[in-house]
Amino acid sequence: MKTVRRRSLAEVTADFVREGLETGRWNGRMPGVLKLAALCGVSRQTMRAAMRILEVEGVIASAGVGRRRTVTGRPAVSASRTLRIGVLLREPLATEDPDQQTLFLELRRAIETAGHECQIAARSQNELGDNLGRIQRHMDEIRVDGWVVHAGSRELLEWGIASGVPMLALGGHARSLPMASTGADGIEAYRAVVRHLAGLGHHRIVLLAPHQFRHPEEMQVLKEYKAELEAQGIAPSSYHVPDWEETPEGLERELTSLFRITPPTALVVLKTKWAVGVLSFLARRRLRVPEDVSLVSWGHNSELAWHRPAMAHFASDQELMVRRIVRWIRGLAKGRPDHEFQPIPLTFVAAGTTGPAKG
C-alpha cells in the first residue's frame, strides 16, 4: 500500500512558481524573494526553501547573495490530454453554504482555465440518501476521467480506490487512505476557539457540528475539542456537542431544548447557514449577541459580512484547495496522478460577536 505523504508549504510554493515558469510568466531574472513571498502569501524563509527546490531541478540558478536568480530552463512538461472531471457534492449546490458555493464555482473555473472539462454530478450524496450503491450507480452513469468527491464517506472513498477510479477527496474521510486529498485542518482552530471563549469566562459552550463529525475517523476533531474543554476546567458532555437533526426544524428544537434550563453562553456553529437560524432564534428570544450569547460562525460570507458587530468565524484559504486539485488533474492528464494529502490550515478569527460570559 502506498503511503500518504504530507507536502510541505515550500513544495506547494515551488509548484506555484513552477507553473509560472511553465507558462512563461518569468523570463531572464526572477523577481526577488520578498516580492515572490508577498505574491504567494508565504514567509521569506518558505520562499527561499521553494527557490532551493527549483535550483536543484535546474530551472533557476542562484547569482549569489543579494542578487536575483535567473531562469535557466523550463520545467519538463509531459504530453497531456484534455480530461473530463466530475465533481460529486455532499449536498445540492443550491442549498450549500455561500462560501462552499464559491469554492465549487471557482474550482470549475480553474479546471476549465486549465483546459479541461468540469461536470458537477446532477445528484448529491445527500440526495442519494448516502446510499453507497445508489451513489456508485450514479457515478457510473457519468462518463468522466476522474472525480473530485466532496466530504465523501470512508466507504465511498475505499470503493474508489478498489475500483481504480481516479479520485481526489475534498474533505471527508480520506485521512490515511492512499489517495489524493485536501481539506481544512481544523483541530488547532477548534482548540483556539475554546481557549478564547474560556478566557472570557464561558463554560456552557455548545458546538453545533455536522453529523459526519461523529464518524469514527472525524471523531478526532471532537476529541480534541473536548480535550481542550477539559484543559480549561470544563467537564465535557453531550451538552457541549449535541446530536441533532440537521434541518431548520431540528435546529429550532435543539435550540429550544438547550435554552430551556441551562442556556449556553456561547455557540460555535460549523455551517454558515445555521448561523442565520441561530440569529433568528436569539432575536425572537430577545437575546443579544454578544451581551447575552457569544456566537462563532463557520465562515464569513457576503451576507454575514453585513452583521454588526463583526462575526467571529473560522477561515481557510480556498485558493490553496483549488490549486491543489488543479495540480492533481494536471498530473492525471500526464499519466502521473499523485496520492498526497495536502492539509489547508484553518484559523479562528476573533471578532465582535464574542464577549464576556454574562453574569
Q: How high is the pLDDT of residue 274?
A: 94
Residue 7 confidence (pLDDT) above 70:
no
Residue 214 confidence (pLDDT) above 70:
no
Q: Please report which confidence band the pLDDT of residue 6 belongs to, taking 50, 70 and 90 as the band edges.
A: low
Q: State mean pLDDT over 208-220.
A: 69
Q: How high is the pLDDT of residue 86?
A: 97
Q: State mean pLDDT over 41-46.
A: 86
Q: How high is the pLDDT of residue 311?
A: 96
More confident call, 267 vs 340: 267
Tell me: the pLDDT tens digits for 272-293? Answer: 899 999 999 999 999 999 999 9
Q: State mean pLDDT over 172-190.
A: 87
Q: Please report which confidence band the pLDDT of residue 79 belongs to, taking 50, 70 and 90 as the band edges.
A: low
Tell me: the pLDDT tens digits for 155-170? Answer: 999 999 988 889 999 9
DSSP output for 107-120: HHHHHHHTT-EEEE
CATH superfamily of 187-316: Response regulator (3.40.50.2300)
**CATH architecture type of domain 9-71:** Orthogonal Bundle (1.10)
More confident call, 302 vs 43: 43
The span from the CA of 321 to the CA of 106, in Å, is 10
**SS3 label, residue 12:** helix
Q: State mean pLDDT over 143-160.
A: 93
The Cβ-side half-sphere exposure at 171, using a 13 Å CA radius, reads 20
Domain map (residue ranges) of the chain: 9-71, 84-184+317-344, 187-316
Q: How high is the pLDDT of residue 201?
A: 97
Q: How high is the pLDDT of residue 232?
A: 97
Residue 213 confidence (pLDDT) above 80:
no
- For Cα atoms 60, 62, 66, give the angle at the middle one, nearest 5 degrees: 135
DSSP output for 79-109: -----EEEEE-SS-GGGS-HHHHHHHHHHHH
**CATH architecture type of domain 84-184+317-344:** 3-Layer(aba) Sandwich (3.40)
Q: How high is the pLDDT of residue 80?
A: 61
Percentage of residues in the chain having pLDDT higher than 70: 93
- For Cα atoms 122, 161, 331, give the angle at the middle one, nearest 5 degrees: 80
Q: State mean pLDDT over 92-103.
A: 88
Residue 186 confidence (pLDDT) above 70:
yes
The structure's pTM equals 0.73
The span from the CA of 345 to the CA of 41, in Å, is 13
- Is there a shared CATH topology between the 84-184+317-344 domain and the 187-316 domain? yes
